[in-house]
Structure 1
């Protein structure tokens, strides 16, 4: 028996070393060719239904073969677990490109990995989830930023509700300012019935603060409230044409060594069609694209202009082909400038725990179990065969 244990240990070590080597050499079949850390950190309140969306298609420079979409398979994992999150009905379950928590609990905080693969290619994205206690002190951590110009009428939009509503859902929202319920009709605030919008008339500096929208949601007979918190900041009229950086938002962005990372710098440029705003990135005090130190590993993307209800935006992405140790001690600054003003927003990258590649453990474990099983079967089969031979000879 001692010999058997020694043999099992030796085989396990050998298989682990071999599997690690094979993952390195045969990455087309055993290791994802593309691995990202999603820039967005999901922060939600304890006790509320929550949905993580796999953002794989945001990084859609995949080299999937034509027609291969028919065989695509998406799997979710938590932290370093090698066990896929099941699709069965439970508090935490995988639903196509989404991971549902009904409701979210404090111990759900961590990193989640969604892996999309077919027979020849796979891509994985790590997403960070933080669950906070339901109290006012934590609201700022989960708030969506919103800028409004003074002396104008503005509207707040309750975001990220699409997973909890259908075409037949009656959007009967409640709005709160600093935990005080706002009346549906008065001179200052107005609910837009049947929508996710709240109108604020004649915005002043006194309107700054935290606004909460609340949507009732029923799941399997249990009623929950879906809440979203919006932090309203006002901009003086004389700064109407100044650029305002909306994202990054001063929070450290988690990344894993060796992974890819994309950080978008999103700038609000006001209501005018031509703002003359330019946006660029600096690494410490040098231009990213002109720094030979990065040599294409870190690059600045092109301008992306979009228009939303509250105005115009410009987005410029900073792409890391591979996160290295030096990136954790570098200040990456997003800069937005036009003829009316300038804003600089420093961004830091922090270390995140690496996502465990389940297949690196699954392969050696499965082979080791198979070998041990064969040895055990042989051990018990041999005496029985000898007994049968003696009986036959007699």
Structure 2
């Protein structure tokens, strides 16, 4: 086994297609470990597909996955791993695990293992399945912070693995099928609002029907739209009484306002504005946006990654970048919110990408801008 470990170490430190050497992977129980995938939150009764994008990318970059490789996806029950074979409700299809449909009891950690005579590599993903009567809306939602007047162009996310039927993707607001958002416009599954107003804030659900083995299943995703700012003033014929108002009343109003509690805006601790994220060509990136805010405001504070001004799900990185794993922890001075962004593979195209982390709550809004860079790109004279 020691010899196999040495062979593996040589493989992962060699130059692959002229790229710099990759860092070694950690090891556990005789298998090398890939970073966990972004957590998945879904609803009971719907079709769910688990994919291991980071795992697949690591095997490809390290040149470890020949066509005859054997993959096994199991559920970690603590003391044993349960495998899924055959055509049951939960089944492995190639390198994915399908739930037809998912149940709340399916929640847990799933392990994907690649093994041959020389190598053993494992990856993991955590799935949470909520009953419709006990939905955790904050975790299920794709949170989008916007300012009044901005344009919303959001694609119903995480649907690439499904074969859609001829029915269009339907968008509804506030979980009510009678409150369709069609007047705002839909195109190719996207929710479009040309100029966002305060009244547009709220929860939106996109729903569709997918066809698997000639049987129809429901799939839905939830978007929570946060809108900051004031709607444009409506011009009226009411006369302006400001010049004739009572000064004493004005002073009283001013004093009243002065005693109104002020909510400090959230502060992005990391990344710093202008940060450049560097990684070798073909490798992945694991990024974190960390925001400091008052603990009482943590639940209502939105943190979001944007790619070239668009949501990750609506950008060209859809399928190649995943965000999630929101965590809140108490730190000195308040609470820290952490949101993860995983980029599966760095390419030349990524170098031109503008990356933003945006945070917003009732106290205000802040954003930082960062960029990608290929390792060794600057100053490499070879």
Q: Is the 8 A contact 1:37 1:127 kept in 2?
A: no
Aligned to 2:94: 96
Distance 2:208 2:70 in 1: 32
| Structure 2 counterparts to residues 102-251 of structure 1, below 5 A | 102-135=100-133, 137-165=135-163, 169-181=165-177, 182-183=179-180, 185-186=182-183, 189-192=184-187, 195-220=188-213, 222-236=215-229
| Structure 2 counterparts to residues 300-379 of structure 1, below 5 A | 312-314=354-356
Q: Is the 8 A contact 1:244 1:269 kept in 2?
A: no
Aligned to 2:39: 41
In structure 2, do the counterparts of structure 1 residues 170 and 99 end up closer, same or farther at CA, with 3 Å as the change threshold?
A: same
Q: Is the 8 A contact 1:305 1:314 kept in 2?
A: no
Deviation at 1:156, TM superposition (A): 2.1
Distance 2:168 2:151 in 1: 22
Deviation at 1:164, TM superposition (A): 1.7
What TM-score do you get using the length of structure 2 for normalisation?
Answer: 0.53
Once the two structures are superposed, residues 89-113 of structure 1 have per-residue CA deviations (whole angstroms, 9 ceiling, x without a partner) of: 1100111121000111111111000
Kindly report the root-mean-square deviation, in angstroms, between the aligned alpha carbons of the 2 structures: 4.3
Once the two structures are superposed, residues 262-315 of structure 1 have per-residue CA deviations (whole angstroms, 9 ceiling, x without a partner) of: 45447437649xxxxxxxxxxx89xxxxxxxxxxxxxxx9x96675xxxx4258
Q: Is the 8 A contact 2:163 2:212 kept in 1?
A: no
Aligned to 2:58: 59
Specify which structure has the higher proportion of helix.
1
In structure 2, do the counterparts of structure 1 residues 341 and 46 end up closer, same or farther at CA, with 3 Å as the change threshold?
A: closer
Q: Is the 8 A contact 1:306 1:314 kept in 2?
A: no
Distance 2:226 2:181 in 1: 22
Q: Is the 8 A contact 1:158 1:213 kept in 2?
A: yes
SS at match of 1:90: coil
Which structure's relative contact order is higher, taking Cα pairs within 8 Å and 6+ residues apart?
Answer: 1
Q: Is the 8 A contact 2:171 2:182 kept in 1?
A: no
Aligned to 1:268: 306
Deviation at 1:127, TM superposition (A): 0.7
In structure 2, do the counterparts of structure 1 residues 60 and 306 end up closer, same or farther at CA, with 3 Å as the change threshold?
A: farther
Distance 1:127 1:271 in 2: 28
Distance 2:190 2:352 in 1: 20
Deviation at 1:88, TM superposition (A): 1.5
In structure 2, do the counterparts of structure 1 residues 102 and 185 end up closer, same or farther at CA, with 3 Å as the change threshold?
A: closer
Aligned to 2:11: none
Count of residue pairs the alignment pairs up: 246
Q: Which runs of 4+ in 1 moved over 6 A?
A: 242-245
Is 2:67 the partner of 1:70?
yes
Distance 1:100 1:109 in 2: 13
In structure 2, do the counterparts of structure 1 residues 71 and 128 end up closer, same or farther at CA, with 3 Å as the change threshold?
A: same
Structure 1: runs of 5+ lacking an equivalent: 1-21, 249-260, 273-283, 286-300, 316-333, 345-394
Q: Is the 8 A contact 2:307 2:355 kept in 1?
A: yes
Q: Is the 8 A contact 2:142 2:224 kept in 1?
A: yes
Distance 1:342 1:184 in 2: 29
After the TM superposition, which of the residue ranges 176-185 and 27-36 deviates more from structure 2?
Answer: 27-36
Q: Is the 8 A contact 1:143 1:230 kept in 2?
A: yes
In structure 2, do the counterparts of structure 1 residues 73 and 236 end up closer, same or farther at CA, with 3 Å as the change threshold?
A: farther
Structure 2: runs of 5+ lacking an equivalent: 9-27, 231-264, 272-284, 290-303, 311-330, 333-345, 369-382
Q: Is the 8 A contact 1:50 1:104 kept in 2?
A: yes
